[in-house]
């Protein structure tokens, strides 16, 4: 299939058209971004005064993408660890928009939720794992950059919250075991090396630095999960009958390109604060997504039960 900008479908124009589409559709794809979690106090990236990127600029970081660049992280993980706490949710609440996606699932209409979010709140909202693609990974797990040891994300949350670089416990244990190993072994090595006492192996042993833990979020320069491409091209584009794109600026590829790869006859609906010009959506419902999905449910005759966002958040 060639990639080109889709034409609009002239028959869909109003919020009531969208409510009717919701009622009639059976296989809905929902593509979400950071905007569906801002009502919980988690900043998005690109909102002008409240976004994470504007905070970074205030702190003199001119190229915010670098905070999430894998090469920068490997070179010096401190920048990431000083800033990541802002994006870590409390995992106690999800937003009404998460509740709306759950409602689509309960009604048997949710085919797949492709989320760019890393907060893993879809899990809290009860979205089935097999209906969820976390395009950019999530904070749910973490992996050592040195030895590959995997842990639950919650194990490194205290370090993230304390703004200190999280180190691998398995590397630490290995280093401790090496240090406690019988000295005779080292002495033996020394005798067997012709270079006056220190073999290459021993020099390596002298760098007892445990590996750095990295949350399993996809940094710039890393691959997206394989199931993203497989599910999208092999299954979803062939079978969905409606796509809802919610709370995203659609600036990050390849997710930003998904709507143009979906067949043109499938209605494309956009719900967010800022309008989008680089994709032809049939209807753009602009405003706070929590309000918009409430209104849509009301017009569709559905009751949106969800955990309310507590006051003060
Ligand atoms: P973005 O570029 O910051 O865009 C978010 C969009 O949502 C903006 O256009 C806002 O206008 C809009 N928006 C913000 N709040 C609301 C609201 N309450 N109702 C409706 N619209 C709203 O973020 P994207 O998701 O487009 O960019 C993708 C990045 C952001 C991914 O790589 C994520 O990992 C990353 N991110 C995720 C989180 C999270 O997991 N909660 C937080 C911050 C960034």
Chain segment 48-70, per-residue pLDDT in tens: 888 999 988 888 888 888 889 99
How many angstroms is it from 15 CA to the middle of ligand 1?
22
Tell me what percent of the residues of the chain surpass a pLDDT of 90.
Answer: 72
Query: Residue 194: pLDDT band by 50, 70, 90 thresholds?
Result: very low
User: Phi then psi for 142, rounded to 5 degrees?
Assistant: -150, 150
Is 237 strand, coil or helix? helix
Segment 258-277, tens digit of pLDDT: 999 999 999 999 999 999 99
The predicted complex's ipTM stands at 0.99
CA distance 301 to 180: 68
pLDDT: is 311 or 99 the higher one? 99
How many angstroms is it from 34 CA to the middle of ligand 1?
3
State mean pLDDT over 127-139. Answer: 96
Cβ of 46 below 6 Å from ligand 1: yes
State mean pLDDT over 160-168. Answer: 97
CA distance 1 to 201: 53
CA distance 302 to 23: 9
Residue 42's alpha-carbon distances to 31, 64, 126, in angstroms, are 18, 17, 19
Query: Residue 313: pLDDT band by 50, 70, 90 thresholds?
Result: low
Which of 36, 42, 45, 55 has the most ligand 1 atoms within 8 A of CB, as the residue to mutate? 45
Atom of ligand 1 nearest to the CA of 45: 3
C-alpha count within 13 angstroms, C-beta hemisphere, residue 246 = 27
How many angstroms is it from 211 CA to the middle of ligand 1?
31
Q: Among 79-83, 182-186, 278-282, whose mean pLDDT is lowest?
A: 182-186
Which residues of the chain form CATH 3.40.50.1220?
A: 1-42+90-136+225-313
Segment 223-236, tens digit of pLDDT: 998 899 999 999 99
CATH (residue range 1-42+90-136+225-313): 3.40.50.1220
DSSP designation for 274: S
Reading the block at residue 267, the tokens are 């209605």
Cβ of 274 below 6 Å from ligand 1: yes
Whole-structure pTM value: 0.89
pLDDT at 60: 86
Strand order in the sheet with 213-217: 150-152, 137-144, 213-217
Cβ of 259 below 6 Å from ligand 1: no
Cβ of 122 below 6 Å from ligand 1: no
Cβ of 42 below 6 Å from ligand 1: yes
How many angstroms is it from 123 CA to the middle of ligand 1?
18
Cβ of 218 below 6 Å from ligand 1: no
Give the count of beta carbons closer than 10 Å to the beta carbon of residue 307: 14
Average pLDDT, the chain: 89
Segment 71-129, tens digit of pLDDT: 999 999 999 999 999 898 888 899 999 999 999 999 999 999 999 999 999 999 999 99
How many angstroms is it from 40 CA to the middle of ligand 1?
12
């Amino acid at each position: 299939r060639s990639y080109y900008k889709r034409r609009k479908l002239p028959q869909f124009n109003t919020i009531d058209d969208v409510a009717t589409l919701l009622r009639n559709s059976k296989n809905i794809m929902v593509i979400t971004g950071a905007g569906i979690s801002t009502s919980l106090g988690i900043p998005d990236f690109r909102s002008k005064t409240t976004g994470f990127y504007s905070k970074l600029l205030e702190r003199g970081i001119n190229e915010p993408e670098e905070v999430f660049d894998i090469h920068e992280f490997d070179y010096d993980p401190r920048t990431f660890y000083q800033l990541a706490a802002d994006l870590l949710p409390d995992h106690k609440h999800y937003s009404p928009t998460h509740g709306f996606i759950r409602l689509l699932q309960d009604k048997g209409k949710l085919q797949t939720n492709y989320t760019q979010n890393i907060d893993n709140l879809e899990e809290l909202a009860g979205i089935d794992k097999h209906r969820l693609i976390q395009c950019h990974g999530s904070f749910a797990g973490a992996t050592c950059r040195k030895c590959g040891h995997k842990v639950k994300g919650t194990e490194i949350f205290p370090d993230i919250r304390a703004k200190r670089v999280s180190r691998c416990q398995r590397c630490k244990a290995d280093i401790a075991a090496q240090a406690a190993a019988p000295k005779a072994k080292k002495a033996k090595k020394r005798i067997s090396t012709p270079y006056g006492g220190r073999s290459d192996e021993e020099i390596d042993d002298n760098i007892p630095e445990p590996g750095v833990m990295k949350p399993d979020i996809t940094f710039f320069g890393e691959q997206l999960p394989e199931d993203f491409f497989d599910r999208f091209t092999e299954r979803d584009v062939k079978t969905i009958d409606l796509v809802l794109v919610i709370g995203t600026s659609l600036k990050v590829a390849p997710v930003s390109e998904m709507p143009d790869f979906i067949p043109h006859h499938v209605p494309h609906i956009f719900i967010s604060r800022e309008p989008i010009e680089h994709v032809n959506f049939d209807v753009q419902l602009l405003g706070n997504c929590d309000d918009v999905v409430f209104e849509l449910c009301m017009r569709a005759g559905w009751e949106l039960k969800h955990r309310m966002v507590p006051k003060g958040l």
